[in-house]
Chains A and B, each alone.
Chain A
Amino acid sequence: MTVAGRSRRWRFSVRPTPRAARALKSLQLPAFWLLGLILLAGMARLLEILRADLARFPVATTSAIVLFALYAVPFWLFIASMDFLEREPPLLMATAFAWGGAVATTAAIPGTQALHDLVAKLISPAFAATWGSAIAGPTVEELLKALGVVMIVLVARKQINSVLDGMVYGALIGLGYQVVEDIVFAVNAVALRGQGDGVGPVVATFFLRGFLAGLWSHTLFTALAGAGIAWFVVRTDKPLWWRLGGLGLGLGLAWLTHFVWNSPLFADGLGSGAAGVLLGMLGKGLPALAMVLALLWVARHREAHYYVAQLARLQDPRIATPGELQIMGHGHLRADARRYGRARCGRAGERAVRGLQTAQARLAVELSRVDRIFPGDELLVHCRDEVLAQRQRLVDLGHPEAVVSPMRPAVPRVVVLGILFAVALFLLIWQAIRTMNAA
């Protein structure tokens, strides 16, 4: 299919932020001020909890905060890079993270406990001991985290341009929740151990919750909820029942994946030994991870094709050559093009390719925001000039086109690295479970 054909097919997948949209306009919205108040209340409550923990276990609490803050960095970078072409405003991303870390966590503590107790009272303590976490956790926590995505929509509706944007904000809310919950769990582990202010339980919690369970936790669940909410918001071309169906599916999948992870099913693993435990864990976590990665792949490519089509309609090889348009929508191909630039012209070549890619993405986003291109449009002229300047840098280096190497291996580097990473992770987790069993 041609680029123009794909553009027509996916013209509703993205709703560009209008030119007139300004961050300061959010100040006029009641939701903005209410969000501020809720965030302040959540942060005050979180500080109260952490202050009490710091008073009881200063070393353990500080270690937990530092360890899990560092743990969040690669997750944050990955989530932020998911939307290369149309980057989200950092302040809005920080707001999403803060909702997950300060509002959803502090509100979930009384809510989850109450629902858990209700299950025990209305059914039986034995049932609650087995299924209480699987029922109360997802019901309360996924609701609270989804409210964060709704709040982002209310204060910055124009920033939710595609399903991918919903996934980004959802994942950040989930990450905030995951990090703060892990800190609280780590300090609780220290208290339960009853041997004073030690870092042993913190490290064990970091390993168990951050490492073994970290790949399929709140970040993943809320990305699904965010996708459902964004689908409802963006796809106004669809009938209401279809949009509601997408919303229900996203929220339902978030609840279901969380329920499966919290459920006692395969709690002792599949079969005996470390391999059995590992299989049980992978059986519960991998389907959710695979589902989110597949959804992410589709959402990214739909959005990428939409923006690539904006450049393609210019039909100007100085702006983007056919080869550059081919690779623009694929993160690993863009990375390959930068590597090729470096191989041919050193670090300057890599920087020039990166500069061109960034300028092309900015121009594509600006093009998507206008219905017609007027010759006197200053912003568009500025973006086009930036692309041309970056192109000139490449021409001066003797590497005029930012494409991948013709000698590129048949199996993409990203596939090889992905497989190696998965195998290394698998072996590491297996070894860790064996060590824990032996201990």
Chain B
Amino acid sequence: MVAHRLVRNLAGAVAVLATLLTVVFGLPALNRAVPTDRSLAGPRYDVGAGVTVAPPPGARVDASKTRPGSERATVMFLVGDVRYLIVVQPFDGPIGEAAEKLRTKIKATQGYQVTGNEGGIRTTGGLAGVAGGYTAPGRSGRYAVFLAGEHSIEVTVSGAQLELQRELAGIDGSISSITYGGDR
């Protein structure tokens, strides 16, 4: 009788542990197993919060890192192994403050360092911003930030050095195509 009770207790405890492990390891494993990228339809992509962009050639969208919205929006393009991220969020400060915020965010990741000087950048639609570069162990990156309306548009691009160089022209073209509101 006592042994039976202990076996039932053990079975219950193991069931709890199994459920816990399913949530901690099973769900993320299933998530990794499901393909993340989606092919793109049309020449322009609606990021959200009033921002649109022409994706680089051969780009796919990482659905798990993409969050459209009317006030805040994020899109992650995958160009080969290069990650190209655009984040739009409410912001009412000057461009220098927006750039500082993005630099702080980049440097918050261990091993990431902003390198070189920042320079001005302008999209074909007329949005003005600043751009710079950063490095990380085994990766290089570029960043840019624009102000549009009451939003900041943060762009980060990262990948292995060689692959980034190969894709950079297409990505630069895509960054230049960023528009806000009705501007095209």
Q: Chain A: residues with CB nearer than 8 A to chain B?
A: 28-31, 34-35, 38, 56, 103, 107-108, 110-111, 113-118, 120-122, 124-126, 128-129, 140, 143-144, 147, 150-151, 154, 191, 193-196
With the chains together, A121 CA to B36 CA distance in Å? 6
- Max chain A Cβ within 10 angstroms of own Cβ: one of B6, B25, B48, B64: B64
Are B63 and A125 neighbours in the complex by a CB distance under 8 Å? yes
Q: CA of A196 to CA of B10 in the docked complex: distance in angstroms?
A: 49
Docked-complex contact A143 and B102, CB < 8 angstroms: no
Judge whether B100 and A194 touch: CB under 8 Å.
yes
Whether A125 touches B68, Cβ cut-off 8 Å, given contacts A114-B30, A118-B30, is: yes
Contact yes or no, A38 B17, CB < 8 A: yes
B16 interface hit (Cβ, 8 Å): yes
A118 and B31: CB pair below 8 A?
A: yes
Assess whether B23 is in contact with A125, with CB atoms less than 8 Å apart.
no
The binding surface of chain A is classed by DSSP as helix
Q: Which residues in B have their C-beta under 8 angstroms from that of A113?
A: 28
Q: Name the contact of A143 in the complex, choosing from B19, B34, B48, B108 (C-beta under 8 A).
A: B19
In the bound complex, do residue A117 and residue B31 qualify as a contact, i.e. CB atoms below 8 Å apart? yes
Would you call A118 and B34 a contact (CB within 8 A)? yes
Q: Does B67 contact A (CB under 8 A)?
A: yes
Q: A38, B31: Cβ atoms under 8 Å?
A: no
| A111–B67 touching, CB < 8 Å | no
A121 touches B64 (CB 8 A): yes
Chain A residues, Cβ within 8 Å of B28: 110-111, 113-114
List the A residue with the shortest CB-CB distance to B7: A30
Given A111-B23, A191-B108, does the pair A124, B9 have CB atoms closer than 8 Å? Answer: no
Residue in A closest to B29 when the chains form the complex, CB atoms: A114
A121 and B19 contact, CB distance less than 8 A: no
Please count how many residues in chain B sit with their CB below 8 Å of the partner chain's CB atoms.
34
Whether B27 lies near A124 (C-beta < 8 A) is no
In angstroms, how far is the closest chain A Cβ from the Cβ of B33? 10
19 contacts between A and B (CB under 8 A): A30-B9, A30-B10, A31-B10, A35-B13, A107-B20, A110-B24, A111-B27, A121-B35, A122-B34, A126-B68, A140-B27, A143-B19, A144-B20, A154-B12, A193-B101, A194-B104, A194-B105, A195-B104, A196-B104
A147:B9 contact, CB within 8 angstroms: no
A194: nearest chain-B partner, CB-CB:
B101
B57 within 8 A of A: no
A121 contacts which of B10, B20, B24, B63 (Cβ < 8 Å)? B63
B68 lies within 8 A of A129 (CB): yes
A196 to B28, CA, bound (A): 32
- A29 contacts across to B, CB distance below 8 A: 6, 9, 13
Q: Are A143 and B13 in contact (CB under 8 A)?
A: no
Q: Which residues of A contact B52 (CB under 8 A)?
A: none
Closest chain B CB from A31 CB (angstroms): 4
CA distance in complex: A380, B30 (Å): 58
Query: What chain A residues lie within 8 Å of B102 (beta carbons)?
Result: 194
Contacts of A108 in B (CB 8 A): 23
- Minimum CB–CB distance from B103 to chain A (whole Å) comes to 9
B108 touches A34 (CB 8 A): no
Within the complex, the shortest CB–CB distance from A92 to chain B, in Å, comes to 16
Q: How distant is B38 from chain A, measured CB to nearest CB, in Å?
A: 8
